[in-house]
């Protein structure tokens, strides 16, 4: 592990010398800027098993990858994670491929949403619901510290959590029933999320609040179908975001694919300029990186073509487009997304300035966490 840390430290030093605009050699590389907006899932326990993601990193300069323990399309436990040693080696292989450090991401919420399982040699975890019922800062900090240190040992910098959704509907198939929410009480959610985010930052792990503007009141699952929360959502679900942003939160926020006609009569939140630019950026004054939920989930993929979804998401204000490749699997998804974004630029449907804004936010996030990571 010490040897791996030295390798990573050397990468960091190289990055520090080269990344003032990605070095003097490529100050305006459009391909780099577009690539940094993509986070891609892949199959394989090693780079030798994952030539597509290697090409995405080398040729398309993708900014991040997301890891899973289970491959949903093939119904197989063979995906990216088999043991701590294997995972540590994989993440180091990934980082060694690029001068711009990758955001290596995972959904390690604890409880049922838990990619690093004891059966594979990782510590046990507890759910957000359990921590919310205890509502004890020491318990929450202990759980967050164990998670953060596990991720750090695996060279995973970005956790796609904690969940800031309120448990408005305990029968919600994707939030309440899975124990992913701390509470229906905004104050309990806020206090526990604050402890987790602070603990993560102290350990060099990036937290990600999700799912904006609130998924806790839904009655259906955005993985499977269109999800309309117009009749169940209330502004109360914004309270965690409002309080955390007001207190200085500037780490990523993940969108929800939920539709709410009171916020946007046409588009779900991920594709909604009114929701992301109007509500999150302008009204709540959020300045950080916005990450989409998985763009291949059926709430988006079944209703919008890939080009429309990408165009709308970028126009809405999404900075990182996440393609988990674990609802459907498309090894060419990064090249397709890159081609679409280039086409939208060529047609002047989106502008270079818009791409630059996302690139600056992403690089600022990486500078805070990855440029000094040892």
Active site members: 223, 293
User: Do residues 216 and 175 make contact, with C-beta atoms less than 8 angstroms apart?
Assistant: yes
User: Which residues are paired to 71 by β-bridges?
Assistant: 76
Question: Considering only CA atoms, which of 181, 188, 196 is closest in space to residue 147?
Answer: 196
User: Do residues 60 and 37 make contact, with C-beta atoms less than 8 angstroms apart?
Assistant: no
User: Do residues 236 and 186 make contact, with C-beta atoms less than 8 angstroms apart?
Assistant: yes
- d(CA 17, CA 29) in angstroms, rounded, equals 17
The set of residues, in sequence order, having a beta carbon less than 8 Å from that of 28 and lying 6+ positions away, is 21
Q: Which residue has the tokens 């090693």?
A: 46
Tokens of 282: 């302008």
Report DSSP letters for 200-245, one per residue: HHHTTPBP-EEEET--TT-SS-TTTS--B-TTT--GGGGHHHHHHH
């Amino acid at each position: 592990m010490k040897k791996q840390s030295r390798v990573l430290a050397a990468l960091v030093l190289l990055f520090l010398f080269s990344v003032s605009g990605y070095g003097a050699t490529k100050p305006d590389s459009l391909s780099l800027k577009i690539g940094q907006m993509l986070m891609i899932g892949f199959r394989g326990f090693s780079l030798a098993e994952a030539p597509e993601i290697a090409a995405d990193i080398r040729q398309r300069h993708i900014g991040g990858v997301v890891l899973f323990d289970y491959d949903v399309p093939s119904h197989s436990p063979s995906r990216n994670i088999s043991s701590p040693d294997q995972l540590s080696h994989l993440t180091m292989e990934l980082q060694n491929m690029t001068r711009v450090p990758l955001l290596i991401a995972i959904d390690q919420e604890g409880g049922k949403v838990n990619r690093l399982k004891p059966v594979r040699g990782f510590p046990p975890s507890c759910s957000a619901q359990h921590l919310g019922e205890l509502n004890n800062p020491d318990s929450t900090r202990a759980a967050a510290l164990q998670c953060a240190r596990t991720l750090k040992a695996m060279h995973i910098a970005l956790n796609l959590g904690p969940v800031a959704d309120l448990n408005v509907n305990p029968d919600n198939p994707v939030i309440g029933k899975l124990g992913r929410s701390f509470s229906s009480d905004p104050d309990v959610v806020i206090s526990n999320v604050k402890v987790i985010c602070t603990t993560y930052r102290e350990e060099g792990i990036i937290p990600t609040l999700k799912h904006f503007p609130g998924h806790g009141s839904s009655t259906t699952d955005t993985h499977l179908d269109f999800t309309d929360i117009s009749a169940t959502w209330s502004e109360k679900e914004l309270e965690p975001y409002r309080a955390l942003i007001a207190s200085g939160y500037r780490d990523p926020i993940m969108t929800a694919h939920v539709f709410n006609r009171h916020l946007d009569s046409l588009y779900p939140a991920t594709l909604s300029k009114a929701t992301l630019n109007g509500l999150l950026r302008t009204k709540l004054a959020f300045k950080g990186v916005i990450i989409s939920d998985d763009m291949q989930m059926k709430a988006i993929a079944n209703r919008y073509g890939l080009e429309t979804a990408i165009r709308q998401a970028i126009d809405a204000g999404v900075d990182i487009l996440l393609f988990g490749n674990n609802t459907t699997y498309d090894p060419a998804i990064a090249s397709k997304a890159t081609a679409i974004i280039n086409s939208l630029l060529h047609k002047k449907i989106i502008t270079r300035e818009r791409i630059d804004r996302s690139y600056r936010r992403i690089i600022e996030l990486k500078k805070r966490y990855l440029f000094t990571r040892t």
